[in-house]
Amino acid sequence: MVTAQMTPAQPTSSALAAFDRISDKPLVFGSSQDQQRGQHVNPLAGLLQHGPYAPFPMGDTIRVATIAAADQQQKLFDFLGRLHQGARATDRIRYVPDFPGFETAFRVRLQGVTDPHCHLGLAPDTAEEGTSDPHSRIVQALVAAIYALRDRRDKWDVVAILLPSRWEHLRKSLDGQFDLHDSIKAAVAPLGIPVQFLWENSALATTQWCSTAWRLSLAFFAKAGGIPWRINPTTSTTTAYVGLHYAIRGGTRNEFVTCCSQVFDAQGGGLEFVAYNLGPGDRTRRNPHLTREEMRVVMSRTADLYRHRHGGAMPRRFVIHKATPWREEEVEGVFDAWGAAHTVECITLQSSRWRGVELTGRGNAETGPKAATRAIQRGTLQQFDESSGLLWTRGPSRIGNDGQFYSPDGKSLPRPIAFTRYTGDGDLNLLAADILALTKLDWNNDSPYNSLPVTLGYAQKLAEVISNVPRLDDNVYRLFPDEGVGRPGASVRR
């Protein structure tokens, strides 16, 4: 149990060192009236006041192609049309502002493609029982439709797919080996096609329309190539961030695939992700740890992505996050690829079992210490030593309307992240500030932040997608944000 006094400098009876509080820097949005970048701690309020960080790069209209069961196409059109209507906030009203309509919020119009060949209808009986597996039939039908739309790629910017409630039982297999969403995303990953899934019994049946409208509008805007917001750099030193996670496929064969998420720059601009097959080779791979050469190959590819985006330049500082402990040979592989950077920080981030309450005073012998009226605040840093500690990425923060405290977790006690830095030195406050900033880059979510930084959160989701693919070649791919998967900062390339 963590106990901490409100004032870090005060002496404490805890066996732990005094804590510190890392403040959240505001997000950066579009130009305000004085032509300076607008800033706000609340992402939705920031969009309303300042507009998106960068306008839609392809013009004044985001063109939507659609795929739906033939008897539900009009329902999909009507649903997308609702995104142009305003909506009053009915849930999380301390945080969510009223939705003003897509065009007002994002300064661009969302509309269906005028070409009827960009609106494809599937046979209503596509998933009916037959001689073949219904899961496979749905995947084949949807992938075929997406490939058909690829031939008209110059006419649309994003694809909306409506999945009817009668297919809900086929969303995932009972044995957990099939996931419809992940199978489709992985099948079209080499195409770089942005897809937004809509389930009839969730998105279309929502009773919280304001939140749904914000969430889907953000996803459509980002997938089409817009940039809703960026983060303020945590340091003046040029920095690159990378997340690393591992996918497991092949059942008992223990075939691991390294999945490296996008390389992010200091403002949260992201690139493609690297997939690198490890495989068992001539030995059974019993863990996902990489050899020095394997790590060098993966990290060299991420370094190439960064150099390509930044005119051949390398950052002064390189930070890499993963969820497993670092081995010496893995660290050596990172330095082989990123040794040109002045500082290389290899960091492990893991969920923890810690729970904590914040104390406002010592109290007395009868009452004991006095607990604060709210959970430990987001940004609280509890250091263990010079290289490890706890960081509360969740918890109340002044991100609500009019600067009110707000927490997506409500009154629960959030778990902190446990971190360990294996290489690098300096103030751990910068390490914590990096993580806090990177938790605010999920453009497929209207929440003010996630529990994990986008580096690791995206890498984990990418690994889940790849786990559902029989084979994905070693390559660099684009995967658009969907249910936590994203491609911040990148524009659509035709």
For residues 278 and 191, membership in a common domain is answered with no
Average pLDDT, the chain: 84
For position 121, which CATH number holds? 3.40.50.2300
| Total tally of structural domains belonging to the chain | 2
259 compared with 168, residue with greater pLDDT: 168
Dump pLDDT digits (tens) for 416-472: 999 999 999 888 999 999 999 999 988 888 899 999 999 998 888 877 777 766 666
For position 300, which CATH number holds? 3.30.420.10
> For 15-26, what is the mean pLDDT?
83
User: Which residues form the domain of 467?
Assistant: 2-25+234-477
Strands 273-277 and 109-112: unpaired
Q: Report the C-alpha gap between 341 and 219 in whole angstroms.
A: 34
pLDDT value, residue 328? 96
Determine, yes or no, domain membership for 488: no
For residues 267 and 212, membership in a common domain is answered with no
Determine, yes or no, domain membership for 103: yes
For residues 20 and 75, membership in a common domain is answered with no
Query: Who's near 127: CB < 8 A, 6+ residues apart?
Result: 134, 137, 138, 166, 167, 170
Hey, is 121 helix, strand or coil? strand
For residues 283 and 214, membership in a common domain is answered with no
Q: At what angle do helices 134-150 and 180-188 cross, to 10 degrees?
A: 30
For residues 127 and 267, membership in a common domain is answered with no
Dump pLDDT digits (tens) for 210-238: 999 999 999 999 989 899 999 999 999 99
Q: Report the C-alpha gap between 361 and 5 in whole angstroms.
A: 7
318 compared with 408, residue with greater pLDDT: 318
> For 156-185, what is the mean pLDDT?
85
pLDDT at 130 over 90: no
475 compared with 3, residue with greater pLDDT: 475
For residues 17 and 85, membership in a common domain is answered with no
pLDDT value, residue 469? 66
pLDDT value, residue 3? 43
pLDDT value, residue 240? 94
Dump pLDDT digits (tens) for 342-365: 999 999 999 998 888 877 777 777
pLDDT value, residue 390? 96
pLDDT value, residue 128? 66
pLDDT value, residue 409? 84
Neighbours of 363 (CB within 10 A): 12
Q: Report the C-alpha gap between 422 and 431 in whole angstroms.
A: 12
pLDDT at 2 over 70: no
> For 160-179, what is the mean pLDDT?
84
Hey, is 73 helix, strand or coil? helix
Maximum mean pLDDT: which of 221-225, 244-248, 277-281, 432-436 = 432-436
Kindly indicate the confidence band of residue 483, based on its pLDDT and cuts at 50, 70 and 90. very low
Kindly indicate the confidence band of residue 31, based on its pLDDT and cuts at 50, 70 and 90. low
Determine, yes or no, domain membership for 34: no
For residues 317 and 417, membership in a common domain is answered with yes
Dump pLDDT digits (tens) for 74-95: 999 999 999 999 999 998 999 9
Neighbours of 90 (CB within 10 A): 13
Q: Report the C-alpha gap between 488 and 494 in whole angstroms.
A: 17
Q: Report the C-alpha gap between 401 and 41 in whole angstroms.
A: 10
Determine, yes or no, domain membership for 202: yes
For residues 240 and 262, membership in a common domain is answered with yes
